[in-house]
Structure formats: structure tokens, C-alpha cells
Structure 1
């Protein structure tokens, strides 16, 4: 018997739009995130070091040494190692016992989870944590403070943001420095210029730590290792150009300084984990940080800083 009124079909629930994919590999030692549009990042949990950042076309934006330590035996050379709580070495400020650039880049971080990027729905935000409880007894003896680090990595179409929050979870104040050690991949370092350092004072570590002032854009014709405090402040972008065309634009937040580094011929040869030895032709470090002075955190205080790297 035919019914006069047939029930209407249930409306089909529309499928969810494509979501970012996040996977753990290498016995949970590495994490890869890929956006529906094709951009991807690869992160080593040892150091929470971003090893790779590719655009939608698969072009690699970071330089990684062929001899980089990826097995947890040391800090990886390339990508974005995290410098904390000391830049270089120190003969004071509570950091005199620490190895070069501190322990954050050479410690196992915990992956805390993922969420949708606030800036773009198709983006992804990944959180990582490191605290004094995660450190070995030896490292805690070298730097006996109670702290927490929260490192957030946000991949969006055309940009990468890294944010570091430092908290003092103990009763004793401590001092620290920090820096995001970006290794950018370029085609030819001798065709690269960096703008945004005009009129900035800097310390030239490759020339007996002399204090100088930058005139015009930074260019490269030999070993470069300089600590700049850009005159126009963190909000003014640093722009890496190659052959006159912009490649990367870096905007800093609460990071007053920036280091520019290329080892050139002789220093690259002397570095055991730098391969190939002529790799200096294909890389450039521009590293936002807070390193020209020391930050002091009192009990319960927090320090937050960030960088956003835009593909131009």
C-alpha cells in the first residue's frame, strides 16, 4: 500500500573538510605535520628541533647538515635548534657549568598535543614541553633551577610561527638567555642580502668581538658571526633576499636581538657535524633572540617571545 506522505530522506551530513595530518615516527622520536594544502614540517623530539619546513610545492626552506645528529646523541645542526638558558657559554649568571647554548636543544621534549591554528583553520598548532623534572641529574646539577618551557609551533599556509614561554616554577629567581637558531636554505649565499639591520649596533664575533654599526643591508663575502640589536625594534621585519628577490620575512616578538651567521670555508671545515663541507654556500642563519643581556625571572613569573617567518 502506497503511503500518502512518505518520510523525507534525512539530510546528508556534509563531510568534514580535509584536516592537517600529524604522525609520530621513529619510535615516537619524530613528528611530521602536513596541511591539506601540502605544507609540512618535521620535528625531532630531541631538542624539539624543527628539521624541515616545506612549502606547498615541496620546496625546502631549512638547511640541515648531512651529518646532523638525529639519534639523540647530540644537538642537530640545522633547522631550528632552541637555545636556552645561555647563548654561547657564560662565566656567570648561574650558567657557567652549562655546555654551549645550554641544554634545551639537547634534551628530550614531550609532545603535548595539537590544535587548530587560530590564524587559519587549515593550519595546525603543535605544543611541546620541557621542565626541570625532564632533565638528567647531571644537567640539574649544572643548572639547579625549577622551570617550565612551553614551545608552540604553528604551521599555516605561507608562514611558520614558533613561540617560547619560560616560567619560573621555583622559589629562587634565575637569569637566562634564549634564541631561535634558524638555519635557512638558500641557493647561493653570495647573492643573499638581509635587510632590516640598517643603523643597528652589533658585535662582530668574527672580528675580535668589535662593536660596530651596520651600514645598509647585510651582505656575505666571508665568515659572518654577528649579534645585532636592530635599531627599529622587534616589530620591524628582517627580510632575506636572494638575487634581489625577497625569500623570507621574519617578524620578532619580545626578541630584541638577532644573530647572523655563516661559517664560510675554514670554519665549516673545522666543524665535525657540518656536511657537506661546502654547505656554507647553501645556508644562512638569521636567529632572533634575547642574548645581548640577561632576562631575570622571579618566582612565579613568565617570559614569552616568538617569531613568525613568512614566505615571500
Structure 2
């Protein structure tokens, strides 16, 4: 072998990028999952764009999902974070939405996965800075014919789920793409997993007005922290920050952006027993719904208008 006196020097090694968030589509293209380099993960069912799992880096599940929940697209998921749009509950006296099923059609519709984006990482960026954003879309064009007949308005919605090492953010943008105004309501029906409902307190709702749906929809005022001692179904209007504690320790902090209402729900014994997809029947001891939304009244979107709202849950 001839020794070349002027041979080129070896290239300097290029430092590699740190590990990146991983996103996968599985179950016959019906679920999207994401895992951060630090170990946090989420899973989203395209049916309803429902977040069905959110785990911290140690693998602890943060959301409650019924053991009898249907994940095959046959009905809305009992648990996780179902989406309520364009009506909360039923509204028989509201002409535009009176024919719609309970909680509207968003949680019962097939959403499209629009793609992912992740935080920009450089060789100097820590793994703890990594995050991933998943976008999902639904529009009037993709609804089934029956739903279009029940709600004949032209819209598009982009729902964004962002996972960070510190928490989970879910947000929506709803556009009126037609020439007719429509009214709507929106809510993230979030089922939070806890260990013992009798040790849970919810703060941030003190002195707030609420509608008590268990007591004839009477308007009441909250005094002190919210505790759960029986069936609870309340619609609060409150300040943006809500804190859930268990045994005196903070387990969740919920920040709301342009979502003025909070629904607090727990079915307790009899209600849980009456729901076929609620299992185990004593599962109410391990969950509390703290639901950020705009549902006490109606948001009217004129032609070309858009509505935007979001929540961020940390622990």
C-alpha cells in the first residue's frame, strides 16, 4: 500500500442529536401514540380524537378509563378525554342542536391525524426539553350523512394534543367555514385518575357560582374546597386555575385558556351501577372528572369566525 504524504485528514466527528420523541400509528391506523425521550407517553384514539392514556416517566397512568370502555369505534369512550362539541348534554330547547345526541358528535366521529411536530433539539438541548404536538382534524365534509342532516353547518376543527415532560395540553380551534352563523359549546371531558376520592379536594372554585345538575339545576355558591361525598354533577364559572389535591398533596393543576367553565363530575354508587360501560362499579373511587369548557351558555360563530380554547394539566 502506497503511503500518500498529502492524504486528507479524517473528518471530525459530528455530535449527534439527542433522542427525539417517537410517534407511532397502530391498531389498523386507529390509534396514535407518542413517547418522549424522558419516558412520558400518550395514546389517542382517532375515534373521537380521545386521549385514552397519559403516563408520566415512571409509567404511572394519569387518566381513568373504564375497564368496559369501547375502543373499537362502536361508541364514545368512557374515560380518558372525550371531546364535547357542539352541545354539552342535550339541548331540546335549542333549535340548532336539539336533534343531536348527548354531548354532540365530536366524540363519536372519526378524526384525521394531521401530523406531528416536536420541539427543536440541538446537541446542547436536554432531553427534558423535548415535547411533541399531535394535530387532529374534523370537518363537516368528513361527517356521516346522518350527522350532516342533524347539524347542517359548515365547519372545520383542529384539535391539538401536546405532551411535555411536565404535563399535557389539549386545545381546539373551531372555524365557521360556511355562510350561516351557528352556536356551539365545547368541553374536554377529562377523567383524572386518583387513588381515593374521599381524600380529594378541588381548590380554585371557592366562592364560585355553579349549576347543581343533581339538584334540579339550581344555582348555588361554592363555600370552601370542593369535596366529593355523593353523586356530583356541577357546572362552575371560575378563575382559570384549578388544583386537585389528594391527602393534602397536589396531584393535578389545571390551567384554562378561554374556557370559562369547569364541570366537576363523579357518578358515585348508584349512577355508576346504572351505566353499562362503567367498570369496575366501584371505579368512581379512583376517578374525578374536572372538565374545562365553555358550556354554561352558547358561543356564536358568525361566517368566517373562529373559536379557540385550551387546557394545560400538570402534576
- TM-score normalised by length of structure 1: 0.96
> CA separation of 1:294/1:245 partners in 2, compared to 1, >3 Å: closer, same or farther?
same
CA deviation after TM superposition for structure 1 residue 11, in Å: 1.6
Residues 117 and 155 in structure 1, CA contact (< 8 A), matched pair in contact too: no
The question of whether the paired residues in 2 share the 8 Å contact of 1:117 and 1:156 is answered with no
Encode CA deviations 1:66-85: one digit per residue, 9 max, x unaligned.
Answer: 11111100100100000000
Q: Secondary structure at the match of 1:299?
A: coil
Aligned match of 1:259: 263
In the alignment, the residues of structure 2 paired with residue 205 and residue 175 of structure 1 have an alpha-carbon distance, to the nearest angstrom, of 22
Alignment partner of 1:284 is 2:292? no
Aligned twin of 1:150: 158
Q: What SS class does the counterpart of residue 206 from structure 1 fall into?
A: coil
Alignment-derived partner of residue 79 in structure 1: 80
- Please give the alpha-carbon distance, in whole angstroms, between the structure 2 residues aligned to 1:50 and 1:213: 32
Partner residue of 2:167? 159
1:6 offset after TM fit, Å?
4.2
Residue number in structure 1 paired with 2:105: 103
RMSD: 1.3
How many angstroms does 1:191 deviate by?
A: 0.4
Q: Map of 1:57-72 to 2, 5 A cutoff?
A: 57-72=58-73
CA contact (8 A) 2:169 2:311 kept: yes
| TM-superposition CA deviations, 1:68-109 (whole Å, max 9, x none) | 111100100100000000000012140000000000000000
Contact 1:51–1:64 (CA<8 Å) still a contact in 2? yes
Give the alignment's TM-score, normalised by structure 2: 0.95
After superposition, what is the alpha-carbon deviation per residue over 1:135-168, rounded to whole angstroms, capped at 9, x for unaligned? 1100000000000010000000021000100000
1-side partners of 2:13 and 2:308: how far apart?
Answer: 45
How far 1:195 moved relative to its partner? 0.4
Count of equivalent residues: 307
Alignment of structure 1 residues 179-198 onto 2, 5 Å: 179-198=187-206
The aligned counterpart of 1:273 is 277
**8 Å CA contact 1:229, 1:256 repeated in 2:** yes
